[in-house]
Amino acid sequence: MHFIGKFCNIIINTLLLSLFVWTQNGWSQQLELTSAAEVSVITAGPGNELYEGFGHSTIRIIDKNMGFDLAYNYGIFDFDAPNFYLNFTKGKMLYKLQSYPFPLFVRSYQNDRRWIKEQILNLNLSQKQQFFEYLERNARPENASYFYDPFFNNCATKIPEITKLILKDKVEFNAKYVGSKQSLRQLMNSEIPWNTWGSFGINLALGSKLDKIAEPQDYLYLPDYIFSAFEYATIKNNGKNEKLVKQTRTLLNYEELQVIPETMSPLLFFIGILFIGLFITYQDFKNKIISTRLDFILFFSTGLLGFVICFLWFLTDHSTTPNNFNILWAFAPNVFVAFILKNSVEKKWFKYYLMFLILLIFSAASIWILKIQLMPKAVLPFLVLLMVRYSWLLKNCLLTSKK
C-alpha cells in the first residue's frame, strides 16, 4: 500500500508539473512582482540515498497577490538522458535548473520525512524582481543546463553565486560560518557515515585535492553551510548594514534521518578478508607451500582497482579524481602479474617487484599519516594483509634464490 501511495503521488506531481510548465511560458516574461513577494533560501535535510546524503538547497519565490509560489531547483537530473551513466563516469554530468510549484517540492520531502528550513531574505522590491527575472531567464530550456561538480558547482554553490551576482557589493558573506578549519574531504566525511560502501567508494575514487584546507567559500558546497552562511551574511540598505535574512522558520520539522547500518559494512568485510588471508598464510608457512589462488585474487583485485583510479585520474573530467595516492596500494600492473604468479617466485625480477610493492604501501601509509591524502579507513585491514602477504612471498623468493 505504501508503494501504491508513493506511485500515485509521483503520477499526480508529474501531471501538475507538466501543466505548470505548459501554462508558465507566456506569463513569466512580463510578470511584475508586488509588495507581497518574498525570496527565500530553502535548506532541506538529508535523505536515505547516497546522492541525498548531504541535504539540498533551493530558492523559493512567492507572491500571494499574484497567486504563485515557485521553487527554483538547480538539482534536477535525468536518469533517462542520452548517455547518462557514461557522461556521469566521464565527469560530464549535466544538471539543470527547473522551476515548479513549491508545494510539490514540499510534498516530496514530506513523503520522505525530511526537514525543511526557510530563510526569507531582506530585499527590496527591485531586488526581488531581479532575482525573479534572473531565475526565470535561466530556467528556460536553452539556459537551464550546466555541468555539475559535486564540490564546486552544485545546487548549493549556485545560491550564494546568484546572490552575489544580483546584489553585488551590497551583500557580504563573512567567514563566521566556517568554525574549525577542515579539508573538503573532512567536510564530506562529516556528512556521510564513514563505514558505508558509499563513503568507501567516494574516498577511494577522489584524490588529494580534497585534502587541502578549504577556503571559506569552499564550504558552500554543503547545504548546511549555505544555511549558516546566509544566517551570518549582511546586506547594505540605505547606507547601513543589516542582516541578509530577515526571518528564519521551519516548514517541515522532522528529525534528521539516520543511515541504516549495512549488514556487511566495508570494515567488517575487510576484517574478514584479513583473517582469511592470515589463516591461509599461516597454513602456507606450516605446510611450506604458496597458495597462488589467494595471491591471484589479491594481485588481480588491487590491479583492477588501480586501473579504475587511473581511468578516473587521466581519462575523465572530474575535478577531484587526479593525484589519487590510493594508486600506491591499488597498483595497476598487479593485474598483469596476477596471471604469471605461478612461475614468478623463482624469477629474480619478482623479488624486486615485491620489494617495490612493500615500499609503495609504506609510502601510502606515510601519505595517510601526514594527511597529504586521507584514505578510506575501512581499507586498513586490507593493507595489513597486503603487507603480510607480500612479505611472505618475498621471503619465499629469497629462500628460493639461495638454493
pLDDT for the residue numbered 342: 80
What is the CA 235 to chain-centroid distance, rounded? 31
Look at residue 1 and tell me whether its pLDDT is greater than 70: no
Cell of 223: 547545504
pLDDT in tens, 255-287: 998 877 788 999 999 999 999 999 999 999 999
pLDDT for the residue numbered 261: 75
pLDDT for the residue numbered 285: 92
Nearest CA to 302 out of 279, 269, 333 is that of: 333
Provide the edge-to-edge strand list for the sheet that holds 234-237: 171-172, 234-237, 240-243
pLDDT for the residue numbered 83: 72
Q: Taking residues 237-250, what's their average pLDDT?
A: 95
154, 96 Cβ separation under 8 angstroms: no
Nearest CA to 207 out of 88, 362, 325 is that of: 325
pLDDT in tens, 103-152: 999 999 999 999 999 999 999 999 999 999 999 999 999 999 999 999 99
Q: What separation in angstroms does the CA of 330 have from each of 269, 282, 297, 307, 310?
A: 17, 24, 13, 8, 10
pLDDT in tens, 48-102: 888 788 999 999 999 999 999 999 999 998 766 677 667 777 778 889 999 999 9
Cell of 288: 611450506
Mean pLDDT of the chain: 90
How sure is the predictor about 400, in pLDDT bands with cuts at 50, 70 and 90? low
Q: Taking residues 234-256, what's their average pLDDT?
A: 95
Q: What is the dihedral of CA 215, 218, 219, 223, to 10 degrees?
A: 160
Q: Helix, strand, coil: what percent of the chain each, to 5?
A: 55, 15, 30
Q: What separation in angstroms does the CA of 116 have from each of 14, 68, 165, 231, 359?
A: 21, 20, 25, 15, 50
pTM: 0.87
DSSP H helices in 73-214: 84-90, 102-111, 125-138, 158-167, 184-189, 197-205
Segments of the chain assigned to CATH 3.90.1720.10: 2-23+31-252
Look at residue 402 and tell me whether its pLDDT is greater than 60: no
pLDDT for the residue numbered 269: 97
Query: What is the rounded CA–CA span in Å between residue 147 and residue 124?
Result: 32
Classify domain 2-23+31-252 by CATH number: 3.90.1720.10
Q: Taking residues 381-391, what's their average pLDDT?
A: 97
pLDDT for the residue numbered 51: 79
Query: What is the rounded CA–CA span in Å between residue 227 and residue 43?
Result: 7
For 247, list phi and psi in degrees, rounded to 5: -155, 135
Handedness of CA 282, 280, 275, 381 (dihedral sign): positive
- pLDDT top residue among 110 and 2: 110
Cell of 344: 614468478
Q: Taking residues 199-204, what's their average pLDDT?
A: 95
